[in-house]
Amino acid sequence: MGVIQNILAVIVVLGVLITFHEYGHFWVARRCGVKVLRFSVGFGKPLWSRVDRHGTEFAVAAIPLGGYVKMLDEREGPVDPAEQDQAFNRKTVWQRIAIVAAGPLANFLLAIVAYWLMFVVGTTTVAPVVGSVAPGSPAEQGGLSPGQEIVAVQGDSVRSWDEINLKLVAAIGHSGALSFSARDEGSSSARDYQLPVDNWLVRQDPPQPLPSLGLEPWRPSFPAVLGQVLDGEAAGQAGLQPGDRVLTVDGEAVDDWLHFVDLVRASPESSLALEVERDGETLAVELTPGRNELEDGVVIGYIGAGAEPVEWPEEYRREIRYGPLAAVGQSLSRTGEMSLLTVDAIRKMFVGLISPSNLSGPITIARVAGDSARTGLETFVSFLAYLSISLAILNLLPIPILDGGHLVYYAVEAVRGKPVSERVQAMGLRIGVALVGSLMLMALYFDLMRLW
């Protein structure tokens, strides 16, 4: 079921992103007087198509990994003299620039709308309160202590651990000190702290900002009470039921859910003697965790059970909500921030500060899309917005075959007053295909490595 959900989620995500991107090209092309022959979402044989009154064929094809807008163009075949004024190549260089740039701009617009919707509807997060500080870590050296709420990183205010992670990832490669502001519990005033770092997170795969600083977020105590039990897994086979409270494991008292998880993970395929409280009675249960191998080859125990949900205290909750007008500024700011973060990540990957193994392909996108869809609409919309920004920036890279490569050609034409020669464009096309093909193969390789 999880695989099916992932596939459906990635089809929805890519379908929305591709449709918006290609519609940007299509909409501006129509307004510049260019005849559009086909608007296709997907590649390959069309599964559905229809032709409108302008002669444009709209199609949904079998391979949902891209799309295209085919325009009338004398470089691609003979054009009826009566329609030559509608050919793409006959338009001014500024019109062609507008048509090519419209695709990425449509993706930026989609991200802005998605973030605006999130800010208007409102999101609930938890306060970034420090739970523990590792001895000898940068956090301890800087003076942070458990119970403090972090309110700013590198001079920018933060309201959640997600925002903190974004600020920290943006600082990859930094040496010196990371600036934090935090306030003690019950205090309204914040103090500044300097956390010493050197070549911050350079080539760490994957980057783990909080553990690298020695910070552990505060979480409420989760009692060792089962909230769900999966059919056919070890917990269900042992007779455990939702609502059962685990008291001891092999005679050792269980403190909380995380303690119980540690005991299970350390005992793959080993019999455990449990004492369980159910409806006021104490029961003895024999539990044999299954075997689960992680990506790094470590084998852990697995029983197919989840904890009973625990409500976060009200004082630790933060609701982020804006009015329709204020949300416009916030959505523009968030889109700009994520765009700069993406561009900077690409730059750091090229100079070696970030490992290229962080590249993601369709498999990882499918997994993350499925996970975000299962988490909730808010997470799914946020992922959609970020992926839309990534698609826009990727297409704007100055690589022949991408929109950015065409924009470079047209910019040169605007300066020189004449088009780039066909020989140079043909050479650029071959280079572009090689570069994009290599990136796709690298992303697929790292996808498969994560899967294994």
Query: Tell me: the pLDDT tens digits for 348-393?
Result: 888 777 777 666 665 566 565 555 556 567 778 888 898 899 999 9
**8 and 61 share one domain:** yes
* Domain assignment of residue 327, yes or no: no
Residue found by looking up tokens 């047209």 in the block: 410
**142 and 85 share one domain:** no
- 8: pLDDT strictly greater than 90: no
Helix axes 324-351, 161-169, angle to 10 degrees: 40
**113 and 18 share one domain:** yes
**203 and 290 share one domain:** no
**Domain end (from 296, 320, 344):** 320
The domain total for the chain is 3
For the chain, helix, strand, coil in percent to 5 are 45, 25, 30
**117 and 70 share one domain:** yes
* Mean pLDDT, all residues of the chain: 87
**99 and 179 share one domain:** no
**305 and 407 share one domain:** no
- 1: pLDDT strictly greater than 50: no
Catalytic residues: 22
**244 and 212 share one domain:** no
**173 and 230 share one domain:** no
CATH number where 205 lies: 2.30.42.10
**11 and 69 share one domain:** yes
Question: Which position has the higher pLDDT, 28 or 345?
Answer: 28
Token pair in block for residue 433: 């295909």
Chain segment 149-194, per-residue pLDDT in tens: 999 999 999 988 888 988 888 888 889 999 999 999 888 899 999 9
**Alpha-carbon distance 413 to 424, whole Å?**
13
* Domain assignment of residue 372, yes or no: no
The answer to whether 244 and 277 are in contact (CB under 8 A) is yes
* Domain assignment of residue 353, yes or no: no
The answer to whether 189 and 218 are in contact (CB under 8 A) is no
Count of other CB atoms within 10 angstroms of residue 32: 18
* Domain assignment of residue 359, yes or no: no
**Alpha-carbon distance 39 to 72, whole Å?**
12
Regarding pTM above 0.75, the answer is yes
Residues of the domain holding 45: 2-121+380-451
Which pLDDT band, with edges at 50, 70 and 90, does 436 fall under? confident
**179 and 258 share one domain:** no
**250 and 192 share one domain:** no
